[in-house]
Amino acid sequence: MKAVVVEQYAPIDQIELKDVPSPRAEPGQLRIKIEAAGIGFVDGLKTEGRYQTKDPLPFIPGTEFAGVVTDAPGAPGGYQPGMRVMGMTRSGALAEEIVVKPEALHPLPDGVAPEVAASFRANYLTALYALSGRASLVAGEQLLVLGAAGGTGIAAVQIGKLLGARVIAAASTPEKREFAQAHGADAVIDYTQAGWRDTFKEMTDGHGADVIFDPVGGDISVQAFRSIAWRGRHLVVGFAGGSIPALPFNLPLLKGGALLGVDLAQIGVREPELQKRLMGELTGWLADGQLKPVVGQIFALEDFRGAFKAMQTRAALGKMVVRIAR
């Protein structure tokens, strides 16, 4: 089968598509023919060996996929060949086939395209867990989403609207702000402008943000926390801007605000029941059409480098997807 193989941690230009043996499913495992893989910011960090945890070399990058079960010895988890699934894994999704345990999979509702399914689980589960599971966002609250046109950001915009919040989307370019508005944001703001906090204050009639969804980090995070409402919750999701901010401890005291960490990788282990409930909620919205996950750009497997570069150059709108099989 064809697979992207990282033999040495390196920039994406130095990573190749190779022919490698197809994986075999042992009892208790399932083999999936992958139709599409979603690429997130983390995948770029992993190929360069810059993520918090390093995948042992060599490895196939890609953590999110959608496809069809082709082998299921013993029908683990009730899965049978021919069933359509979406999945999450530590690595291995940028390949024509993958072998996983049933816990990595979720059945795919009818009528959902593989590109949509591959854009769905990581970002939308992160957004729902953050906004509902951690921040207990309620209808009518003011939600500020930073990096709102990115993969997790646009998911937070959509989930925030589904939870009934007023969503203010912060992004760096007019195109990104239009994109956020087209996906439901009530108002937009250019957070690269020096006076953006004053504009934000006016937009919320002096109230500030009840909840801040923050996948960006750096100085923007501290600025945003300074605009938090009394009893506000600032969700630490990621550091796409490249630097980890330090928050002066007097700010939570003065603002009556809280900083809450979010880690998708730990939800299933630490709060499996909550993850199950949130996935049920998400797939329900997906099945009844209330939630239409945003597919940003689709690349052929041969062009996988384009998906990584779009994110690394801050050019991505929504989630980048690599189409693998037809």
Ligand X SMILES: NC(=O)c1ccc[n+]([C@@H]2O[C@H](COP(=O)([O-])OP(=O)(O)OC[C@H]3O[C@@H](n4cnc5c(N)ncnc54)[C@H](OP(=O)(O)O)[C@@H]3O)[C@@H](O)[C@H]2O)c1
What is the contact surface with ligand X in residues (CB under 6 A)?
A: 40-42, 122, 126, 147, 149-153, 171-172, 176, 215-216, 237-242, 262-264, 311, 314, 316
| Smallest separation (angstroms) from ligand X to the CB of 38 | 9
Least CB distance to ligand X at residue 295 (A) = 12
* 108 Cα distance to chain centroid: 18
Nearer to ligand X, 242 or 289 (CB): 242
CA–CA distance, 296 with 119 (Å, rounded to integer): 9
Least distance in angstroms from the C-beta of 144 to ligand X: 13
Please state the closest distance from residue 108 (CB atom) to ligand X, in A: 21
Q: What are the C-alpha distances in Å from 95 to residues 63, 227, 237, 251? A: 11, 44, 28, 46
Question: In this structure, are residues 151 and 178 in contact, taking their beta carbons and an 8 Å threshold?
Answer: no
CB of 154 to ligand X, least distance (A): 8
Burial track 288-317 (b if 16+ CB lie within 10 A, e otherwise): eeebebbbbbbbebeebbbbbbbbbeeebb
Nearer to ligand X, 20 or 45 (CB): 45
Q: Which is nearer to ligand X, 164 or 174 (CB)?
A: 174
Q: DSSP character for 312? A: H
Exposed (0-12), middle (13-18) or buried (19+): which is 111, by Cβ within 10 Å? exposed
Contact predicate 260/231, CB 8 Å: no
When the beta carbons of 100 and 122 are compared against ligand X, the nearer one is 122
- Cβ proximity to ligand X: between 83 and 310 the closer is 310
Greatest Cα pair distance, the chain, in angstroms, is 61
Which CB atom, from 59 or from 191, has the smaller least distance to ligand X? 191
Residues 183, 179: Cα–Cα separation, whole Å: 6
Q: How far is the CB of 150 from ligand X (least distance, A)?
A: 2
CA distance 14 to 169: 35
Q: How far is the CB of 267 from ligand X (least distance, A)?
A: 8
Q: Of 118 and 149, which has the nearer Cβ to ligand X?
A: 149
* C-alpha–C-alpha distance, residues 133 and 131, integer Å: 6
